[in-house]
Chains A and B, each alone.
Chain A
Amino acid sequence: EPEVTQTPSHQVTQMGQEVILRCVPISNHLYFYWYRQILGQKVEFLVSFYNNEISEKSEIFDDQFSVERPDGSNFTLKIRSTKLEDSAMYFCATTGGSFQPQHFGDGTRLSIL
Chain B
Amino acid sequence: SQQGEEDPQALSIQEGENATMNCSYKTSINNLQWYRQNSGRGLVHLILIRSNEREKHSGRLRVTLDTSKKSSSLLITASRAADTASYFCAGHGTGGFKTIFGAGTRLFVKA
Chain A residues in the interface with B (C-beta under 8 A): 4, 31, 33, 35, 41-45, 48, 50, 55-56, 58, 91, 93, 98-107
Residue from the list B41, B45, B97, B104 in contact with A106, Cβ < 8 A: B41
Given contacts A42-B102, A101-B48, contact A50 B43 (CB under 8 A): no
The 7 residue pairs across chains A and B that have the minimum distance between CB atoms: A104-B42, A56-B97, A48-B97, A101-B45, A98-B96, A43-B101, A42-B103
Residue from the list A42, A105, A107 in contact with B88, Cβ < 8 A: A42
Give Cα distance in the complex from A18 to B33, angstroms: 34
9 contacts between A and B (CB under 8 A): A42-B101, A42-B102, A42-B104, A48-B98, A56-B95, A58-B98, A91-B42, A102-B43, A106-B42
9 other contacts beyond A45-B99, A45-B100, with CB at 8 A cut-off? A42-B88, A42-B101, A43-B104, A99-B50, A99-B96, A101-B33, A102-B33, A104-B45, A106-B42
Nearest CB on B from A35, distance (A): 8
Binary flags per residue of B31-70, CB closer than 8 Å to A gives 1, else 0? 1010100000111110010100000000000000000000
- In the bound complex, do residue B102 and residue A102 qualify as a contact, i.e. CB atoms below 8 Å apart? no
Q: Which residues of B contact A44 (CB under 8 A)?
A: 101
Given contacts A99-B30, A99-B31, A99-B92, contact A33 B44 (CB under 8 A): no
Nearest CB in chain A to that of B31: its residue: A99
- In the bound complex, do residue B88 and residue A91 qualify as a contact, i.e. CB atoms below 8 Å apart? no
Give Cα distance in the complex from A99 to B48, angstroms: 10
Nearest CB on B from A48, distance (A): 4
Q: Which residues of A contact B104 (CB under 8 A)?
A: 42-43
Interface centre among A41, A58, A102 (most CB of B within 10 A): A102
Give Cα distance in the complex from A100 to B33, angstroms: 9
- In the bound complex, do residue A107 and residue B98 qualify as a contact, i.e. CB atoms below 8 Å apart? no
Nearest CB in chain B to that of A4: its residue: B42
Q: Which residues of B contact A91 (CB under 8 A)?
A: 42-43
Interface centre among B41, B42, B92, B96 (most CB of A within 10 A): B42
